[in-house]
Amino acid sequence: MAPRVLCSETADLLLYGRAMTSYAPTRRGFLTAAAAVGGAALAPASVWRAAPASATAPFILKPTPPAYFKDFGTNAEMLWSSVEPQAYLTPQSRLFVRNHTSTPPIDRTTYALRVYGDGLATPRTEGEALSLSFADLQALPHHELTSVIECTGNGRSFFKSQQDQTVSGTAWTLGAVGTVRWSGVLLRDVLASLGLSADAFSIQATGLDDPFSTYGRVRRPFPIEKALDDALLAWGINGEDLLPDHGYPLRLVLPGWVGIASIKWLGSLEVSKTQLFSPWNTTFYRMTETGWPGDSPPLTVNPVRSAWELASGAVLPARPVTLTGRSWSGAGQISKVSVSLDGGESWRPAVLDRRSREDQGWTQWSVRWGNPRPGRYELLARATDDRGRTQPLVAAVNSQGYFFDAVVRHPVTVA
Ligand SMILES: Nc1nc2c(c(=O)[nH]1)N[C@H]1C(S)=C(S)[C@@H](COP(=O)(O)O)O[C@H]1N2
Ligand SMILES: [Mo]
């Protein structure tokens, strides 16, 4: 399985000229990277389902060892210190997990996606929903795309640590993000095969996981324009079946949009001629309080963010070193990354090493630190995307701590 991952990865990647030497995919490089991916020992979905990771709290079924993850109970954050600079894609075994409740066991052989609503060419009530089996979906043209998947609250803990602001929600650092290659069918092909009304306006995706508190099943509407653009119904990540934690057997993927838009364990789609609502586009995932207008729109496109492939407080040797990191944007490609090794006093451009040919993957970059002297430093990385959006120095506070996109001050010690 692993070599397939790497083949599709390299086919999709653009290597910037200056970085060819450090990332040239030599045979040895392939083998090393393949071993790293293979070493995660991905088992078939049925094995994960049969063996929950813990008897007391099986919120997440895949192993989340402390070398790779920070455990938040129902959620697990990827550690940037464990990211392998030679691997562009995030192995599924290493991808962050964000569950409102817990990963449900779903049997693909009896799975059905229900589709209904007055936005279908032939309107159907929920009781009359069309039912698509996994085989029905697989009969449609297959499609692949590479995109970042990122939680709206990624970076949330920096509201407190960097801006002294108290917000609610999981205290992620910057690891609620990954980049994967999805495979599945385009939602527009599914809708075309079912027959769509010209007046279709809004689509609500609902998950099969347990209801969240008193709010009901996790569900969120999105506009028909996104459905007819690049929305994917995905069954695969990096050439493998989805793991249960990531939505097996089928999830929605809205590339570039906030993570909540990509509903896992997709149970139904309601297609409507009118705007649909759920707590996830009214109460949650909007900017609320602290100066935001009550009618601020539901959050959609992710902002620009950057991370170093280092632990916070990492200790570096006092000799020349190449530091690596990644930047990403929900709106397009990263066009520039500026870095500071001295807490923001001086800035230099990072070398952009590798990105996806498509619009929605992240960009790997590197910077050579030629002469680090013993002491304590703050590393900063500030990216700009091709829509001209640059990371601010201060993020806009909001009570639920969404969209922390400011430049993060990353402490390191040279010893
Ligand atoms: N059905 C369902 N879909 C869901 C969620 C959920 O709890 N239930 N969490 C959402 C959120 S908030 C995020 S950030 C992403 C996380 O995807 P991942 O766990 O595959 O990384 O899934 C989204 N889709
Ligand atoms: Mo999220």
Q: Which residues of the chain does CATH 3.90.420.10 include?
A: 22-272
Tokens 């692993």 — which residue? 2
Cα of 260 vs centre of ligand 1, distance in Å, is: 5
Ligand 1: nearest atom to the Cα of 75:
19
Q: Measured between alpha carbons, how far is 379 from 272 in angstroms, rounded to an integer? A: 48
**84 in Cβ contact with 179 (< 8 Å):** no
Please report the pLDDT score of residue 285 as a whole number.
95
367 in contact with ligand 1, CB cutoff 6 A: no
Q: Which residues does 154 contact at the CB level (< 8 Å), separation at least 6? A: 172, 174, 175, 176, 177, 305, 404
Q: Measured between alpha carbons, how far is 102 from 60 in angstroms, rounded to an integer? A: 6
Say which ligand is closest to the CA of 220: 1
pLDDT tops 60 at residue 9: no
In the chain, the percentage of residues whose pLDDT exceeds 70 is 85
DSSP letters, 9-62, are HHHHEEE-GGGHHHH---HHHHHHHHHHHHTT-PPPHHHHHHS-S-SS-TT--S
Rounded to 5°, the CA angle 129-132-136 comes to 155
pLDDT in tens, 319-329: 999 999 999 99
Beta-strand relationship, 266-272 and 112-116:
parallel
Model confidence band, residue 2 (pLDDT cutoffs 50, 70, 90): very low
Please report the pLDDT score of residue 357 as a whole number.
81
Answer CATH for 305-414 from 2.60.40.650, 3.40.50.10540, 3.40.50.2000, 3.40.640.10 = 2.60.40.650
Cα of 296 vs centre of ligand 1, distance in Å, is: 23
Alpha-carbon distance values, 121 to 54, 190, 193 (Å): 47, 13, 11
Model confidence band, residue 356 (pLDDT cutoffs 50, 70, 90): confident
CATH number at 22-272: 3.90.420.10
77 in contact with ligand 1, CB cutoff 6 A: no
Residue 133 β-bridge partners: 112
Helices (H), 43-112: 45-50
pTM given for the model: 0.89
Q: Is residue 244 classed as helix, strand or coil in its secondary structure?
A: helix
Q: Measured between alpha carbons, how far is 281 from 269 in angstroms, rounded to an integer? A: 16
Q: How many CB atoms lie within 10 A of CB 342?
A: 12
Q: Which amino acid is at 224?
A: I
Which H/E stretch holds residue 306?
strand 304-308
pLDDT in tens, 109-162: 999 999 999 999 999 999 999 999 999 999 999 999 999 999 999 999 999 999
Q: Which residues of the chain does CATH 2.60.40.650 include?
A: 305-414
Model confidence band, residue 176 (pLDDT cutoffs 50, 70, 90): very high
